Amino acid sequence: MTQPTPSKDSPTLYALSKKIKQWGIELGFSDVGITHADLSEYEAGHFNWVGENYHGNMHYMTKHGVKRTRPNELEPGTQSIISVRLNYFDSDAESAVSQLQTPGKAYISRYALNKDYHKLMRKRLQQLANKIAEQVEGFSYRAFSDSAPVLERPIAQQAGLGFIGKNSLIIHPRAGSWFFLGELYCNLALPADEPFQKQGCGPCTACINECPTQAILPGNKIDARRCISYLTIEYHDIIEDELKAKMGNRIYGCDDCQLVCPWNKFTTDTQEDAFKNKSDLDKTELLTLLKWNEKTFLKKLEGSPIRRIGFVVWQRNLCTALGNHPFQTDILTALQNLDTDSLVVQNHRDWAINQQIEKESQLNNHPNPKIARGGSAPEASLSYPFTVSNKPAIAPKYYECKKR
């Protein structure tokens, strides 16, 4: 990046920073913050996390060296970072809790029910950059939205957009955590906003307790190798049987740690039409999705972030979810009739078939099983760990976004 050469008519950098935030809100962003390019406070933590192999097989976490933690290494000349957030929760969609607690439904993470956010965020950031360029000659920048080696959550915290919660997500006390993040690395020495200093989780451990696979670690870290979002999206191999059995009906991502977070009672509904539900993915049956062939998968999910996992992983995840379903004759039949050349899908299909057969046998022996709240009883494999409708398995309660 070259250094900017403001014209005589350009506003001061302080006034410009206020304008940038105003323009960002006018463009539809939920919030805009500005920080400097020094992320040294977070560098050791990032490399310690990688050193423990908590990133699993996400090799892109290591291939760029220090570019992720040193913005100037990624984009030379970066002096400031403009951080933005954009709400995505659509309260008009089928209830996330209802979907999660209905075993025959396919649970898909709320962010993926609609259009892929990457293009929309980058286009919006480009529009913001264009407005800045009109004011400052020589303005140079680079836009990101979960698309490059960027420490987006530490950046957001430094820019005052929230604190990093125990579930590792950015949480704002007045907005919760159901939002996307984006960044503009730029060559302007803009005044930095006050970072979020207070860790707002306090003694609450709802997300830690509710995580189905116990993937949340001390120090606001995640062991991705156990995280259902990682397993259903990033990991394309055979999942361990122990983890298969904990995945429930979650076929793309997982929102449990957000659904039980008390701060999400302050989440506001998305105003983005692109994030408003226009598909049936919020209420689709697992067996319906299993009937899709690859051509249908590609057609139905055109423009969706789900498409990038590919058909093999899609089928793998569906088989896992059906294996976790209480015994049902048509499920067992569908699994037995599923023909695939993929060794990965074959493994999950066969596991699911065995699960259904075992549950049928247990059901015959225990026609009225008592299921423990946390699913710890021997008969718990006959059902899900949810024993009370609209109540979490472990945490005190859910906090769904309410339409305002």
Query: CB neighbours (10 Å) of residue 30?
Result: 21
Question: Which 3 state secondary structure label does DSSP give 33?
Answer: strand
Residue of 38, 90, 146, 237 marked catalytic: 146
Tell me whether residue 146 is one of the annotated catalytic residues.
yes
How far apart CA 283 and CA 59 sit, in angstroms, is 34
Residues 6+ apart with CB under 8 A from 273: none
Phi first, then psi, for residue 69 (nearest 5°) are: -100, -10
Q: Report yes or no: 239 and 320 within 8 Å, Cβ to Cβ.
A: yes
- Which residue is associated with the tokens 């900017």? 4
* Cα 91 to Cα 106: distance, rounded to the nearest angstrom: 18
Name residue, tokens 């990688």: 50
CA distance between the termini of the chain: 43
Q: How far apart are CA 277 and CA 286, in angstroms?
A: 19
H or E stretch covering 298:
helix 294-300
Written as six digits, the tokens of 7 are 């014209």
- Residues with a catalytic annotation lie at 146
